[in-house]
Structure 1
């Protein structure tokens, strides 16, 4: 075979075989198209806060631009943003990170990918409790790893147990990813649950732990959720906290993710980032400093609003015993188990994508199929939208299910 024929045979790398557009984005594109045509759709798909960034954060960005803060920063971020990250963890979690243990990136997704990319060898496994954030598997594949899915049961609040963790760790396990509060379930691990998991991980010194805490500000508990890093300080030399400004600070468009963890891992992540995106926007970093160090009244109000919406979602739970809603304690999502209503082989044959398409096409309600989260037989709804939309959307969903008999 000639060189030309070889190039023609495969122009795209084989690792891209596992990296496809999620049905989430396909569905959202259909919602946008329908709305552009004037069709009234009750969309329960939003993955971002439905409020604007608080004014004091916007003003800080404006001041930074006027002051000429429009140049490159160090790859790990400006001194001010690194200090603000360190102060956050000292204040909220009692964690004392040195300067070389923190960094920023262009969103928390880049933080996760950087960490995987600098540590995974081909074929290394990443233990991924399901339901999981839909982006995790593709990032693992892109970094050369293999997702090893462990299904967390609904009766356990979709949270991984210590026994399940121990039984799942194998000789190729390189990472364990924990997301609390969780997308898509809203599950929050308790201090005791994290301690039990940590006690298992202590026995596996070659396994890294990624604690994804991007929703840490968005919770509906009496007290702030704890971090595994606080509960099990013995894991500090191999535990990375991924966080960001998008969710808890209503800053999705500013694209700032944060990381705190072992200095050698942070250094490797920064080396990779230096050759890809370099530092995030200097303006966004200035905004992040104001967010991390500033007043929280607007953000606390946002959480109160989401708590009321969460309670509105749960008020529908008793309307149909075949639809099981798991109560979210954080984030702004809820997972609905629809496995019973889609089990009929003549109708949906257990296909939650087909069910979501039917809801949209026939009843103008948009939800996200659970299969993209490793949760086949479920749909995810978001309550990051107004109460009227939640009420109309869930009412239409329940009425649609009733028509199935």
Structure 2
């Protein structure tokens, strides 16, 4: 009775139970195994466990079965293949013994189907991977923003190319680029570019390239929409995009417009040269965020360049002014001097900068003159019988108007009234 109960338990249990020999021949497989695998075993048929084990598991199982000795117990993760080709992931417990009569090595296998758990684990790992990628992406986005906004402008172009490289590699692009559109002249310019190894650059050749407002890609960008071309080769031969990209072997392309206050500046995008890109949803989302970041940085760079240009132009005006102008600190050391002041004193700019203004004053009048300068609040005019002596020792007279600039600098305008 107990034997019958035990046999029924083996057949009806949810676990897959098999009895096999060292070579993998199946002597018995219970109903659960046959049902899960999708294969009916006839009493007279011969089956081998190897025909049901996934190739990735087969070698490991063969090694363990071969090394097992009488009384050994071991565990393995075994991947089985159903009759429909799908996989069954199992946690297996194995017991090795020798047949009392034949002395043949036999292995009892008890397998638990963990496919659902494994699929959930895979799903969890995929979600975790996506989360990790998102975290890495946002960290890189923040790092790029800091680099483009806060670092010195002399590194701006290098930082732009570096950013294109980092984001391009993140989506396995072969080329990342930024184009500027001249909407008045209808010309486009490739301003920044990164290319992966063995990818031909196109930046130098993509300058002052004409385009038409009738092209669909520019209409998309004017409307604030991305442009995604899965297979450039499928475009008509006369298509503008195909004509431009064909010399560079581009298979797929995705671009996103860079727009500020309704004005289209250009676009940022990725090229795929080695393979076609069948889906670009991730790239579109990334480019939509990069377009705002890059455009903000480019505008800031332009404002900086314009400020430098205006400053240089203003400095030119100051340097060429007909009256002497100099800037000194509250310690009276010269910071800047213009040509007229150098002419007045007979010293060169190199000789005056970082030297003390007091070197020009009459020693008897030194303290009074210092007090006059330090009392300057907005504009204060001081008239001297003579300020001092030129480099050649001759005296000169001057009228000086001074004003404080910030806390530590004084700007002064001076001229010799005898020369006016």
Bin for the TM-score computed over the shorter chain:
under 0.3
User: Could you state the TM-score of these two structures normalised by the residue count of structure 1?
Assistant: 0.20
| Bigger CA radius of gyration | 2
Kindly indicate which of the two structures has a greater share of residues assigned to strand: 2
